[in-house]
Amino acid sequence: MTLDEVAARLYALPPEEFTAARDEAVRAARTAGDRELAKRIGGLRRPTIGAWLVNLLAHQRPDLIAELTALAADLRAAQRNLRGGELRELSVRRRELVTALTRETRALAVAAGRGVRDALPFPEVEATLTAALADADVAEQVRLGRLVKSIEYHGFGELPRPQLRLVHGGAEEAEETDDAAGEEPPAPRPGRAKGGLVVVEPGASPPGTAGGREAALAEREAALAAREAALAARESAEEREAAERHEAAERRRAAKEREAAERAEERRRAAALRRQQQAAHRELLTARTALAEAEAARTAAEQAVRLAKRRVEAALAAVTALDPDG
């Protein structure tokens, strides 16, 4: 028995079963004489409901978690390199994947014994999966399936690196030599050669016609990247707003479902009560009918007894009259 094996089993359990199972694992490790393992198992912390749901997904659907991890790498690469078109496409895939994983988590929770209408923290699941898409460390924690609490990530993607170009100098080096020959050197300007290299800041033009064209192209590329980054930020904000609207709609839908379920339960109870009342009335009618029949039978029997007695008395009188000595 290893810590990884124990942790995999414990963190797949519902939180309400975690503590008892962990304590039992600690006792088993001590009985086996492995005090170090017992200590490490005892240090495992009970997960929240939201963390358990993500752990459940990691343990039972590792294929989906692998898909999440691969998409996270693609998203970070697109964000880092400011590939706006690819970033938009990946953002659509991100929304679809998070929705699909949350839906699968709901199914796994029901299979694990939770009610279909139980109020489970699926927004925390979505937040943790979104954080895994943005942060490689979080993605690894999700993959291991040992989360203790859900994770929330503010923002999305990595910050872009500064875009600086290094241009090998030639003419500039000659200009530096002329300066050294006796002319007063001009004031430093962006793009001035230093040691055979020219550092071109955004917006600055290196010397020469070809360099100017490169600078113009770089400016256009920077402007496009800025627009794509702004678009990605706007899409992220829209996604958060959509998620909040979705959450509110889910709460309203859940409330309506609860109300509908309560009304259905009331109707069921009322129908059951009516059936019980009808059955009781039928039983009462049957009992009264049986009583009336019994009373009628008793009356007929009493009349038959009286008639029989009179016949006996008449017969006895006749016998006596015919045989006075008898």
Listed in sequence order, the residues at least 6 apart from 297 whose beta carbon sits closer than 8 Å to its beta carbon are none
User: What is the DSSP code string of 225-245?
Assistant: HHHHHHHHHHHHHHHHHHHHH
Name the CA dihedral angle for 79, 83, 84, 88, rounded to a multiple of 10 degrees: -70
pLDDT at 53 over 60: yes
Length of the chain: 326
Task: Name the nearest CA neighbour of 245 among 123, 92, 64.
Answer: 123
Q: What is the pLDDT of residue 298?
A: 92
pLDDT tens for 285-299 read 889 889 988 989 999
Specify the higher pLDDT residue, 156 or 48.
Answer: 48
Listed in sequence order, the residues at least 6 apart from 165 whose beta carbon sits closer than 8 Å to its beta carbon are 199, 200, 214, 218
Q: What is the pLDDT of residue 232?
A: 61
Listed by start position, the domains of the chain span 47-144
- Range in 69-83, 153-167, 269-283 with the lowest mean pLDDT: 153-167
pLDDT tens for 172-202 read 333 333 343 334 444 444 444 433 333 333 3
pLDDT at 40 over 90: yes
Query: Confidence band (pLDDT; 50, 70, 90) for 1?
Result: confident
User: What is the DSSP code string of 70-107?
Assistant: HHHHHHHHHHHTT-HHHHHHHHHHHHHHHHHHHHHHHH
pLDDT tens for 66-124 read 999 899 888 877 777 766 777 788 888 888 999 999 999 999 988 888 887 778 888 99
What is the model's pTM? 0.46
Order of strands, sheet of 197-200, starting from the edge strand that comes earlier in the sequence = 165-168, 197-200, 193-194
